[in-house]
Chain A
Amino acid sequence: MQNNQTSQEIIKDPTPLQETWYNLKKNKGAMVGMTIILIFIFMAIFAPLISPFDPLAQIIEDRKTPMFTNGHVFGTDDLGRDMLSRLIYGARISMAIGVISVGISLVFGILIGVTSAYFGGIYDKIVMRIIDIMLAFPYILLTIVIVSVLGPSLMNAMVAIGISQIPRYARVVRASVLAEKEADYVLAERALGAGNFELMFLTILPNCLSPTIVQATLGVGEAILSSAGLSFLGLGAQPPTPEWGLMIASSKEFITNAWWIVTLPGIAILLAVLGFNLFGDGLRDILDPKMRN
């Protein structure tokens, strides 16, 4: 009877999600980043509905139309394709690049990171040395090597970016699993009879997500940038895909007489990367317990 009273009062705390949102709202940089990201996501999803023209349709008489003329808000490129429409469709490609390449690195990074931290020993040592070797290559060089092997295409560029980013995710995940696996709740669930798989992926991993989410957010920006770089070098998207990096590459000679054809895709890349970086940095500030007061 005495015990029943105890449970009547309960501490009313916000859920972790509410708390994150509360802190996020106070972080101006993160909010700006999030707004940019949301705009790009909106563009990506509704590209067919909001783009005024077909991004691939060439209107020969309208070549190199300057901005705000003939209904082309951002002008047209050297083949008379509407820049705004191409940029909007470009957002679709860039978001896909971000999601797919980060997805690849996340899946493998988590698998490697969780297992090597959890099992430790010689397995951990071998895996981590391989990761070290991968990290010793300059990142862009590693990506180029992988694309060269697979052959230049947008899909292969995504795979290459994904693979070359695995080591970073593996390290981040491994570090937080190492810290988390000693916690009492893991031992407690082991005492209940939980097996290794359950402990690794259902118990420990969900508690290691914060740093991984931060890394993934920053990683999306980086993947967009890298893919633009690869496309610029001719190793990624192939014409006539409206990929931002490719758009810069194929129009660089017009920088003196039709600046918008080169500059606008550049600004789009800048904004997208900036958005993800601002948001990622903001998330880090909020989710990293060391930064909290």
Chain B
Amino acid sequence: MSNDKIIEVKDLKKHFRIKSEGATESTSLLKAVDGITFDVLEGEILGVVGESGCGKSTMGKTVLRLYDKTEGEVLYRGEDLFAKSEVQMKEMTRKMQMIFQDPYSSLNPRKKVAKIIGQSLDIHKIGTSAERLDRVKYLMEEVGLNPKFRSRYPHQFSGGQRQRIGIARSLALQPEFIVCDEAVSALDVSVQAQILNLLLDLQERHSFTYMFIAHDLGVVEFISTRILVMYLGRIVEIATKEELVNRHVHPYTKALFIASPVVSPRDRKEGKHLFQGDVPSPINPPSGCHFHPRCPYAVEKCKHAYPPLKEISPGHSAACWVVQNDI
């Protein structure tokens, strides 16, 4: 793994205006992604973990410019994605791809598998139709699908096979960078394991860079080389996997690790020290550090000011006043 940055995200914000329900029609601002800065390094698997509403999926889609940004920058090898024209952006789709969560809704039900997988080749007018067909067959084999099923429709496949179709589709243009948005979350455990192995095989073969977004800490911990933890639109901690697993410092990261189910009944703990309270709505997040109402270590300062993401040891940053000893 080299240390070249493939993606640089600088103070990225993505806000949605939403109509609130109720007697009076008013709009409020959902700050799905609210000022995050990080890099994705060439060849790494950057795991992004957080609970629902933390903005991880929105962040993944904004990084690929599938959503427009509100503020900030995304650089792909130094080039600003949001400064690109539509034609230039179309070129960029050859380098950056996405694998979606739901293998049911992410495949067009009216298209045959060969058409789905080969669609990007059609769009970018790559090769002759015979070459495209060969490529589709090759891709199907590469993801473990029998090429003779290429003229079937998505609903004729099981969930795991459909996810393989989605993966083949994203490989067609030979991208460098792939965002996997909860790519295994909707799958049964045994199928999830197959797909995780497949993603790792493909990464080794093609030296992809992945951004792997998931809510399941166990999965992220297994697949990632570096992990980024998000809470309500912001990064709370980022470090290499070994560092984060063994020496996580942010109270929210701790909460996630404590809450993760045990792997054997022998590890059950009576009266675990669980963090209380609900995940607040991202529409009106708590003032100051968003985690302070649930945080047992919170001090007065946490209620007023959001802590910046600061390096606490090389390659390990956290956004917490208490950890940074700045109270």
Contact = CB atoms under 8 A, between A and B. Distances in A.
- Asked if A and B form a direct contact in the complex, defined as CB atoms under 8 angstroms apart, the reply is yes
Contacts of A185: 105-109
B100 A188 contact: yes
Given A10-B157, A188-B100, A192-B123, A2 B106 contact: no
Given A10-B157, A11-B157, A193-B90, A184 B101 contact: yes
A256 interface: no
Contacts of B149: 7, 10
B221 interface: no
26 contacts: A2-B144, A2-B197, A4-B144, A6-B161, A7-B161, A10-B149, A10-B161, A11-B157, A16-B153, A184-B105, A185-B106, A185-B107, A185-B108, A187-B61, A187-B100, A187-B106, A188-B100, A188-B106, A191-B64, A191-B66, A192-B97, A192-B120, A192-B123, A192-B173, A207-B109, A207-B110
Contacts of A16: 109, 153, 155
A194 interface: yes
Given A3-B198, A185-B108, A198-B123, A193 B102 contact: no
Contacts of B164: 3, 6-7
A7 B146 contact: yes
A250 interface: no
B84 interface: no
Contacts of A193: 90, 93-94, 120, 123-124
A6 B145 contact: yes
B156 interface: yes
A206 B115 CA distance: 14
A10 to B, nearest CB: 6
B293 to A, nearest CB: 32
B192 interface: no
B194 interface: yes
A198 B119 CA distance: 11
A250 to B, nearest CB: 48
Contacts, number: 96
Please name the 9 residue pairs, one residue from A and one from B, whose CB atoms are nearest each other, closest first: A3-B144, A7-B146, A184-B106, A193-B93, A192-B120, A206-B110, A193-B90, A7-B145, A185-B108
Contact of B158 (A3, A11, A188, A190): A11
Q: How large is the interface on A (under 10, 10 to 19, 20 to 34, 35 or more residues)?
A: 20 to 34
Chain B CB within 10 Å, residue with most, of A187, A189, A193, A207: A193
A293 to B, nearest CB: 18
How big is the B interface, by class? 35 or more
Interface string A176-202: 000000011101111111110010000
B229 interface: no
B69 interface: no
B307 interface: no
Interface in A185-225: 185, 187-195, 198, 203, 206-207
Contacts of A192: 93, 97, 119-120, 123, 169, 172-173
Contact of A3 (B64, B101, B120, B194): B194
Contacts of B247: none
A70 interface: no
Given A185-B109, A191-B170, 17 more contacts: A2-B197, A3-B164, A3-B194, A4-B141, A6-B145, A7-B149, A10-B149, A11-B158, A184-B100, A185-B106, A185-B107, A187-B98, A188-B100, A188-B107, A193-B90, A193-B94, A207-B110
B152 interface: yes
Contacts of A61: none
A72 B125 CA distance: 65
A12 interface: yes
A291 B264 CA distance: 45
A12 B152 CA distance: 10
B66 A187 contact: yes
Contacts of B155: 13, 16
Contacts of B143: 3
Given A188-B98, A193-B94, A6 B194 contact: yes
A12 B124 contact: no
B153 A4 contact: no
Contacts of A7: 140, 144-146, 149, 161, 164
B43 interface: no
Nearest to B140: A7
A15 interface: yes
A12 B153 CA distance: 11
A248 B227 CA distance: 79
B144 A6 contact: yes
Contacts of B101: 184
A187 B170 CA distance: 12
Nearest to B93: A193
